Structure 1
Amino acid sequence: MFNLNSFKSSKVLFSFNGIVLIVLAQLLLGGPDTISSTPRKPVSLKATVPVARLRAPGLEDTLSFSIVGDLMVGSSYPSTYYLPPYDSGTILQAALGVMQQTDLRLGNLESCVSDSAPVFKSCGTSQCFAFRTPVKFAQWYKDAGFDYLNLANNHSFDFGLKGVNNTLDWLQANNIRTSGTPQHPTDSITVRNTRIGFVSFAPHSNCLNLNNDTIVRAYIEDLKTRFDLVVVFFHGGAEGASKMTTPKKKEIFFGQDRGNVRHFARLCVDAGADMVIGSGPHVVRGMEVYKEKLIAYSLGNFSTYHQFNLKYPLNIAPLLQVTITKEGKLLDNKVFSFKQEGEGVPKPDSAMTAYKTIRSLSVKDFGFTGVNAGTL
């Protein structure tokens, strides 16, 4: 049985040194075969991001977030054919204006960032869905102002430990926070004197285990003692066009336990999370407010270039803006509607499909009628 107190007392769980990472990774993943033997230097836990946002009177004690789902702006594997034209500029261009309206920008990084890591994922004779974004293309995330990119997902380990370490090095060099791997389980950022802790979970290799309630609770409870707010990301649930409804049970996908995401998300809030953001099904799912805290069960695909199925409804690409108090209470939400066009470029959707779909699913699955529309 995992015992957080015993780990705290011996300074194991949250001391960032090589021995700790090995012990913790073995505990979470069940063996040394997916462990880095090189200790990592974490991003500073108390770095402050300067924010210069126009703020309406009375909103000084709030924080605002722009949040998107899966991001994979191009892959050089198995061929550079799968990369977008670089000289035409960032494929995130259409969303930049909306994203810059908020204090922070968050998303799920559905690839490693590396120019050279060899493929680790075993694909057999079928098409290999392994994603490796070159550094110069990953710069588009930095240019868009992303402050946090989640790594707890089923593609962060496509190129093994070299891919993970290359990605962590790039994120650190660009001052982008991350969480969810044994090499870098948690992170934080401070905005206008509010300290925000991040942790993320997934049922995949080299990730903090979404299906282990004890692990989930321990991380969140510990972060809650050290930070003002706790934001949780997860990558869970079955995939595909037919998986837009959030079931009240465990989801099995190709024999893998993808979690009971309702149970998981509410457990996170019960443990102290102030916002829970999901991805994984590649389609949008509904949202709910549980104990005054927002849970978004899936934000689908936002910018996933060339190798993703982008037939409707997998091309629905919401950008969720959330405003919460500095105590974590939800004040407002807006769903801005984009859709992926061509090979995977998010463009404004005048039909507001993302908003209408998420609102309908929120009412149907959770009885939540408070999903609001953002205007592009």
Structure 2
Amino acid sequence: MRRFFLLSLFLFITFFQLFAQKDTIEIAAVGDIMLGTDYPERKYLPPDDKCDILLEPLISHIDSSDIAFANLEGAFADSAELVKQCNDPSVCYAFRTPQNYFSYIQKSGLNLFSLANNHMFDFGMPAVDSTLALIDRSGAYTAGVYKRPFAVFVRDSVTYGFTAFSPNKGTNDFHDTLRLVRIVQALDDTADIVVVSFHMGAEGSKHQHLTRKTEMYYGENRGNPYKLSRKVIDAGADVVIGHGPHVPRAFDLYKDRFIAYSLGNFCTYSRMNLDGPNGLAPLVKIKTNREGKFIEGQIVSFKQYYGKGIILDEFNRAAAKIQSLTRSDIPECVLRFEKNGYFSK
């Protein structure tokens, strides 16, 4: 009788585990976040360090997401010394955010971060180390620097693999395509869902459109976003999230896998141009099945104004911009957009 009971219990647990696995995954993603910098002066920080309201409008929109991604455009450090070469600090764009500000990012619900960008090493490895320590203590996940090239973690029975790339020193360099492919393939062998982040593409309102060519900016090779996105999906990626141009770009679907070529700026308090498309701050939420195939998505449109945080945009300008760019730059894309920001295939 006891043996029968144990066998029945084992079969019940096995059956329950099989059917308790999540069938649908929701991934939320935003672009660049930089809550202010104390370099070269503290005037570039929110008054009295009150940055708790900067991300507050985001919270209710990602609380149902399994993972919520952002690119940290700069390190969190209190005393690290400047490493970036600057002849005139007043016009030098180097970002060092006080460590206690990270708690506000943690409270927002964001829990997956790229460190692969052109500002992460402005204050050297000590600043990167302090940022890694803050993220680790918060229970969130991160990757993108040589010290942390990828991350593998489990949430609600789903195993995620994450990696991030940029063309910048100290980060995973996307010009090293052999290493790029090896990392993604290894993650695909391990994880149910593989997310890849790219800091790539030329910057500014003149570079909203996807050219499908290698993009140069101030003499730097910023990669070919169209080609690189397809390369990592061929290697096993399920979701590709781009940022770096500081403006939104088109969405795409390749082999039923979702691509955002750039999510632009999201919450960049100071020292950033927020005019026109630079101030559009999209949040994208996508749903995939357990194998990573795209099901449907939604763009929640926010707007930024200089010296303020994000504000929900009733005119849905970020969604309209992404829809327009997708139609013009990738006319063969099968994604269908609705006026309320929802999209599907």
Match of residue 224 from structure 1: 188
Match of residue 354 from structure 1: 318
Where does 1:1-376 land on structure 2 (aligned, <5 Å)? 60-85=22-47, 86-87=49-50, 89-125=52-88, 127-367=91-331, 368=333, 369-372=335-338, 373-374=340-341
Report Cα offsets for 1:81-103 as digits up to 9, x if no partner.
11113346331011211121312
Task: Report deviation, 1:344.
Answer: 4.1
The letter for the 2-side match of 1:370 is R
Given the superposition, is the C-alpha separation of residues 188 and 90 from structure 1 closer, same or farther in structure 2, using an over 3 Å criterion? farther
The letter for the 1-side match of 2:70 is G
Q: Does 90-99 or 352-361 show the bigger shift?
A: 90-99
Q: Does 186-195 or 308-317 show the bigger shift?
A: 186-195
The letter for the 1-side match of 2:214 is K
Given the superposition, is the C-alpha separation of residues 371 and 180 from structure 1 closer, same or farther in structure 2, using an over 3 Å criterion? farther
User: For residues 208 and 95 of structure 1, what CA distance do their matches in structure 2 show?
Assistant: 29
The letter for the 1-side match of 2:274 is L
Task: Look up the SS of the partner of 2:164 in the other structure.
Answer: strand
Higher helix proportion (structure 1 or 2): 2
User: For residues 83 and 69 of structure 1, what CA distance do their matches in structure 2 show?
Assistant: 20
The letter for the 1-side match of 2:95 is F
Task: Look up the SS of the partner of 1:299 in the other structure.
Answer: coil
User: For residues 59 and 168 of structure 2, what CA distance do their matches in structure 1 show?
Assistant: 31
Task: Report deviation, 1:370.
Answer: 2.3
- Return the TM-score normalized by structure 1: 0.82
The letter for the 1-side match of 2:69 is L
Report Cα offsets for 1:293-321 as digits up to 9, x if no partner.
00000000000011101111100000101
The letter for the 2-side match of 1:69 is G
Q: Percent of counterpart pairs with the same letter?
A: 36
Given the superposition, is the C-alpha separation of residues 226 and 60 from structure 1 closer, same or farther in structure 2, using an over 3 Å criterion? closer
Asked if the contact 2:51–2:101 (Cα under 8 Å) also holds between the matched residues in 1, the reply is no
Report Cα offsets for 1:194-248 as digits up to 9, x if no partner.
1000011100111111122211111100111111111000100000111000111
Match of residue 5 from structure 2: none
User: For residues 103 and 337 of structure 2, what CA distance do their matches in structure 1 show?
Assistant: 32
Asked if the contact 2:80–2:123 (Cα under 8 Å) also holds between the matched residues in 1, the reply is yes
Q: Does 192-201 or 86-95 show the bigger shift?
A: 86-95
User: For residues 242 and 113 of structure 1, what CA distance do their matches in structure 2 show?
Assistant: 30
Larger Rg: 2
Task: Report deviation, 1:188.
Answer: 2.1
For structure 2, the 5+ residue unaligned runs are 1-19
The letter for the 2-side match of 1:239 is E
Given the superposition, is the C-alpha separation of residues 88 and 295 from structure 1 closer, same or farther in structure 2, using an over 3 Å criterion? closer
How many residue pairs are counted as aligned between the two chains?
318
User: For residues 265 and 258 of structure 1, what CA distance do their matches in structure 2 show?
Assistant: 13
Task: Look up the SS of the partner of 1:242 in the other structure.
Answer: helix
Task: Look up the SS of the partner of 1:288 in the other structure.
Answer: strand
Asked if the contact 1:335–1:371 (Cα under 8 Å) also holds between the matched residues in 2, the reply is no
Match of residue 20 from structure 1: none
User: For residues 320 and 370 of structure 1, what CA distance do their matches in structure 2 show?
Assistant: 15
Asked if the contact 2:22–2:156 (Cα under 8 Å) also holds between the matched residues in 1, the reply is no
The letter for the 2-side match of 1:196 is Y
User: For residues 205 and 300 of structure 1, what CA distance do their matches in structure 2 show?
Assistant: 21
User: For residues 280 and 208 of structure 1, what CA distance do their matches in structure 2 show?
Assistant: 15
Match of residue 3 from structure 2: none
User: For residues 293 and 344 of structure 1, what CA distance do their matches in structure 2 show?
Assistant: 34
Match of residue 6 from structure 2: none
For structure 1, the 5+ residue unaligned runs are 1-57
Task: Look up the SS of the partner of 1:178 in the other structure.
Answer: strand
